Structure 1
């Protein structure tokens, strides 16, 4: 089940695709860079990729120092 945060990320990803991916993965992630490239090449491919990445990997925690390892 998707959380409210995921819903907001998807809504932002439809309006500004790189921003939605940035909020989930951060600035220097490969997902963000691919999304920026696709959005530059065409707005619709950027939206499709952003929504796909956010929905398909919503259960995984993003890589980085944001979560403490227990």
Structure 2
């Protein structure tokens, strides 16, 4: 649950805490371009992390 909150406010940190550093770099780029795609990507990565 905490990762979902981080996915909204600090998307790259949430993705990095799931243990996927390459996706965290992609997420950082998405967040820098525009915040919403980064947050959506982070939420999807966190959802996938909890599914496994």
For the aligned pair, the TM-score class normalised by the smaller chain equals 0.7 to 0.9
1:33 aligns with 2:25: yes
TM-score, length-scaled by structure 1: 0.66
Shift of 1:59: 3.3
Counterpart CA distance in 2 for 1:57 and 1:23 is 10
Q: Any stretches of 5+ residues in structure 2 without a counterpart?
A: none
Q: Any stretches of 5+ residues in structure 1 without a counterpart?
A: 1-6, 61-70
1:18 aligns with 2:12: yes
Q: Say what the alpha-carbon RMSD is for the aligned residues.
A: 1.3
Contact 2:18–2:49 (8 Å) recurs in 1: no
TM-score, length-scaled by structure 2: 0.85
Contact 1:10–1:51 (8 Å) recurs in 2: yes
